Amino acid sequence: MDACNAKSAESSVMSKSPVVTDTTPIVHCCTMIQGRVVMEAARDADLKSAFYQVSQDLQLHPVKHVATLVQSTSRLHVFQVALPQLAFSHEYLMHGILALSALHLAYRCPGRRNEYTLMATYHEQIALGEFRAALSQVTQDNCHALLALGALLAIMPFASTASQRSLIPIIPSMDEIAQSFHLIQGIKNILQSPSAIGIVQNGPLGPLLRCGSPVAPGTLGGAFAESLDKLEHLNNGGIVCKSMPADHIACKGAIAGLRQTYALIRAEDVVREFAVWTWPSLVPARFLDLIRQRHPMALVILAHFGVLSNLFVNSWFLRGWGACVLQGVVGELDAAGLGMRRWVDEPIRWLRQGVSL
């Protein structure tokens, strides 16, 4: 029995999940790690009691919680089989799984959010420390586990506010958004490291990375493609970026990345939740600086990404995030008072009317 009843959408997905033939090793590994957690917390009786209860919850179905990251049943086996096998060989990945599992429990059980968040923080800190150390030497043996953990760590900032966001809008700051995108770019660096090139896509995580041929960006029509044309014209006009060629180039690259991402989303065999989030890995590093600086052109481009995220991603940890980003962008543009607010009117209309892109 789970600590809390699952939400109906997640229950529907999980009821169709393939059965893991033998979860004994992964549960045993969780039990050993969680046992150490309780022992280390024994200095404080109240903390020990809380950790013990949460540990029991996490030991029940650690893989099930992480499997909620994707709503494509054809790829659930990656989370239910391949990921646990990697975690059994790489303990830092197991800590990442336990951290995200605790955040999922916090989302499902708001009344115990503080307990689960405490446990999530504990495991995340261990995973992050070991992740940084391992990144100094990416090998053919650890590249799969590092990629998996990198993805989990990139998700956690969103997952940590999911339970609150389901009740009230939590507007992320531009600094927080840029930092999250920076983590995603770190995942790309793992994929492109000499030891991992060509190996990861053919490895246990390959099904999550492979997809059908994307639609050629130049052949895409519709409201979103037309809006990107307008953004490109605005950027090329030099009104916003003025005499800063580096800013113009960064925004141009971000718009091109949105075209690529939209084309990938429209491919036939693709996990849309993942396809949408290729965009942060495609934007120039300078563009992240522009987000931090509340650059008007960068914010308008970011608003368009927020719409894509809101329309095509329904995973529990990102549900409603795109709409919150758009709300944050509107606030920043209104505060700047440069007349750029009108450039996000169309994305706002798409969200309000549920326009299919």
Q: Which residues of 152-170 are buried (b: 16+ CB within 10 A; e: fewer)?
A: bbbbbebbbbbbebeeeeb
DSSP 6: P
CA-nearest of 127, 124, 131, 156 to 146 is 131
pLDDT, tens digit only, all 357 positions of the chain: 445 654 433 333 333 333 333 333 344 444 444 444 443 444 444 444 545 555 556 655 555 555 556 555 556 777 777 888 898 889 899 889 889 888 888 888 888 888 888 888 989 999 999 998 988 888 888 989 998 999 899 888 888 888 777 777 789 999 999 999 998 898 888 777 776 767 887 888 887 776 656 566 566 668 898 999 999 998 987 666 565 889 999 999 999 999 999 988 887 667 777 788 889 999 999 999 999 999 999 999 999 999 998 888 778 888 889 999 999 999 999 998 778 888 999 989 888 887 777
Distance CA 14, CA 6 (A): 10
The CB density around residue 21, as the number of other CB atoms within 10 Å, is 8
Whole-number pLDDT of residue 114: 86
Question: Distances from the Cα of 151 to the Cαs of 77, 126, 216, 281, 296, in angstroms?
Answer: 17, 16, 27, 12, 29
Distance CA 33, CA 212 (A): 39
- This prediction has a pTM of 0.79
Distance CA 225, CA 32 (A): 51
60 token code pair:
């029940």
Yes or no: say if 153 and 270 are a contact pair by the CB < 8 Å rule: no
Q: What is the three-class DSSP state of 65?
A: helix
Interhelix angle 174-191/321-336, rounded to 10 degrees, is: 130
Whole-number pLDDT of residue 54: 55
Q: Is 75 left (phi over 0), alpha (psi -120 to 50) or beta?
A: alpha
